[in-house]
Amino acid sequence: MADGRPFYITTPIYYVNARPHLGHAYTTIVADVASRFHAMKGIPTFFLTGTDEHGDKIVRAAQKENLSPRAYVDAISRQFRDLWPELNIGYDRFIRTTDPAHMAVVEKILQRIYDAGDIYYGEYEGLYCFGCERFYTERELVDGKCPDHQTEPETIRESNYFFKMSRYQDWLISHIQENPDFIRPERYKNEVLAFLREPLEDLCISRPKSRLEWGITLPFDDKYVTYVWFDALLNYVSALDYPDGERYRTFWPQAQHIVAKDILKPHGIYWPIMLKAAGIPVYRHLNVHGYWNVDESKMSKSLGNVADPLDLKNVYGLDAFRYFLVREMAFGLDANFSEAALVGRINADLANDLGNLFSRVTAMAHKYFKGVVPECDPEIDREVNLGLVTDAEKAVRVFEEEMERFGFHKAYNAVWELIGRMNKYIDMSAPWELAKKKSSRRQLEAVIYKFLEGLRIVSGLIYPAMPETAVSMQRHLGFDVPENADGPYFDLASLASWGGMAPGTQLPKSTTLFPRIEVKEKETPEEAPPPDPDIPEIKPEISFDAFGAVDLRVATIIKAEAIPRAKKLLKLEVDLGRRRTIVAGIAQHYDPEDLVGKQVIVAANLKPAKIMGTLSNGMLLAAVDKKKTAIATVEGEMKPGTPLR
Given a contact cutoff of 8 angstroms between Cβ atoms, the answer to whether 115 and 52 are in contact is no
* Count, residues in the chain: 645
- C-beta of 259 vs 470, nearer to ligand MSP: 259
- C-beta of 310 vs 632, nearer to ligand MSP: 310
Which contiguous run of DSSP H or E holds residue 59? helix 56-64
Active-site residue identified among 41, 108, 145, 301: 301
- C-beta of 265 vs 366, nearer to ligand MSP: 265
Which contiguous run of DSSP H or E holds residue 584? strand 579-584
Put the strands of the sheet holding 221-226 in their side by side order. 206-208, 221-226, 217-218
- C-beta of 263 vs 566, nearer to ligand MSP: 263
Active-site residue identified among 149, 367, 436, 639: 149
Given a contact cutoff of 8 angstroms between Cβ atoms, the answer to whether 76 and 24 are in contact is no
C-alpha distance across the termini of the chain, in Å: 52
Cα torsion angle, 458, 460, 461, 462, sign: positive
Could you confirm whether 627 is annotated as catalytic? no
Q: How far is the CB of 227 from ligand MSP (least distance, A)?
A: 12
Could you confirm whether 376 is annotated as catalytic? no
Cα torsion angle, 442, 448, 452, 457, sign: positive
- C-beta of 13 vs 388, nearer to ligand MSP: 13
Could you confirm whether 301 is annotated as catalytic? yes
Q: How far is the CB of 104 from ligand MSP (least distance, A)?
A: 17
Q: How far is the CB of 368 from ligand MSP (least distance, A)?
A: 48
Q: How far is the CB of 135 from ligand MSP (least distance, A)?
A: 17
Q: How far is the CB of 172 from ligand MSP (least distance, A)?
A: 18
- For residues 262 and 289, give the distance between their C-alpha atoms in angstroms, rounded to a whole number: 9
Active-site residue identified among 108, 132, 265, 559: 132
Count CB-CB contacts under 10 A for residue 430.
Answer: 11
Could you confirm whether 267 is annotated as catalytic? no
- C-beta of 103 vs 259, nearer to ligand MSP: 259
Could you confirm whether 132 is annotated as catalytic? yes
Could you confirm whether 409 is annotated as catalytic? no
- C-beta of 288 vs 557, nearer to ligand MSP: 288
Q: How far is the CB of 298 from ligand MSP (least distance, A)?
A: 7
Which 8-state DSSP code applies to residue 269?
Answer: I
Count CB-CB contacts under 10 A for residue 554.
Answer: 23
- For residues 236 and 282, give the distance between their C-alpha atoms in angstroms, rounded to a whole number: 11
Q: How far is the CB of 333 from ligand MSP (least distance, A)?
A: 11
Which contiguous run of DSSP H or E holds residue 580? strand 579-584
Active-site residue identified among 38, 54, 57, 146: 146
SS (H, E, C) 605-623: CCCCEEECCEEECCEECEE
CA dihedral 435, 439, 442, 447 (to 10 degrees): -40
- For residues 129 and 152, give the distance between their C-alpha atoms in angstroms, rounded to a whole number: 7
Three-state DSSP class for residue 446: helix
Nearest-CB residue to ligand MSP?
23
User: Which residues bind to ligand MSP, rule: CB under 6 A?
Assistant: 12-15, 23-24, 26-27, 52, 232-233, 235, 259-260, 262-263, 291-292, 299
- C-beta of 292 vs 316, nearer to ligand MSP: 292
3-state DSSP helix/strand/coil % of the chain, to nearest 5: 45, 20, 35
Q: How far is the CB of 10 from ligand MSP (least distance, A)?
A: 8
* DSSP tally for the chain: helices H, then strands E: 24, 25
Beta bridge mates, 349: none
- Give residue 292's identity as a one-letter amino acid code: W
User: Which residues are annotated as catalytic?
Assistant: 21, 24, 129, 132, 146, 149, 298, 301
